[in-house]
Amino acid sequence: MPRWEPDARERFVSAALHLFTEQGYDETTVAQIASRAGLTRSTFFRYFPDKRDVLAAGQETLSALLAAGVAAAPPTASPLEAVAAGLTAASAAMTPFNRDLGPRLEAVIATSSELQERALLKKVGMAAALADALRSRGVADAVASTAAELGILAFKEAFAAWSDGDGDELAPLALAALDRLREALSQLT
């Protein structure tokens, strides 16, 4: 087996999701994932500490992209306009690979309470990254937290629609979802 492959991370994620779907999360081993990916078990551990982390692959990158988009927003941008910039930045990094894996990932997560808990923690981490980026812009804590949560809800809704085949690009779906949530929020008062 080759020692290094340029797409090893994606190969591990794809192999794991196929195996989790075919035989279940609990029944799948790291050795099986590595074998299906055509790589070694030790290579797997260079990318992931355990098989659970395969399902959170890219979380740090996504969080960083969301935060970078907020930081790059114009200084005059409102908190939700800055969140929209973060959603646009993160959406631009989503590829057909991400789109294809979305439904399978959700199906696998639905089979395990451990994985559902992990998915919720992933969303909390992304919201924290967004809120921290907003606070760095001088946004008050409660406003930053609320705007960040709305951003994550919008991203989740848009990603689900995009994975189901709605639209060619994720960014317009995310921005439309954020607008719907902004409208819903205005109706709460």
**pLDDT (tens digit, 0 to 9) for every residue of the chain, 189 residues total?**
444 556 898 899 989 989 998 998 889 999 999 999 999 999 999 999 998 888 877 788 899 999 999 999 999 999 999 999 999 999 999 988 888 888 888 888 888 888 888 888 888 999 999 999 999 999 999 999 999 999 999 999 999 999 988 888 999 999 999 999 999 999 997
Q: How many domains does the chain have?
A: 2
Same domain assignment for residues 131 and 144: yes
Same domain assignment for residues 92 and 71: yes
Q: Is 142 exposed, middle or buried (0-12, 13-18, 19+ CB in 10 A)?
A: exposed
End-to-end CA distance of the chain: 61
* Residue 10: predicted pLDDT: 87
Same domain assignment for residues 44 and 100: no
Q: How far is CA 136 from CA 75, 79, 87, 92, in A?
A: 11, 11, 17, 23
Same domain assignment for residues 20 and 85: no
Q: Count Cα neighbours of 162 within 13 Å in the Cβ-side half-sphere.
A: 27
Q: How many CB atoms lie within 10 A of CB 80?
A: 20
* Residue 189: predicted pLDDT: 79
Whether 103 contacts 163, CB under 8 Å: yes
* Residue 5: predicted pLDDT: 56
Q: How many CB atoms lie within 10 A of CB 174?
A: 27
Same domain assignment for residues 43 and 104: no
Same domain assignment for residues 132 and 91: yes
CATH number of the domain enclosing 86: 1.10.357.10
Range of the domain at 63: 58-186
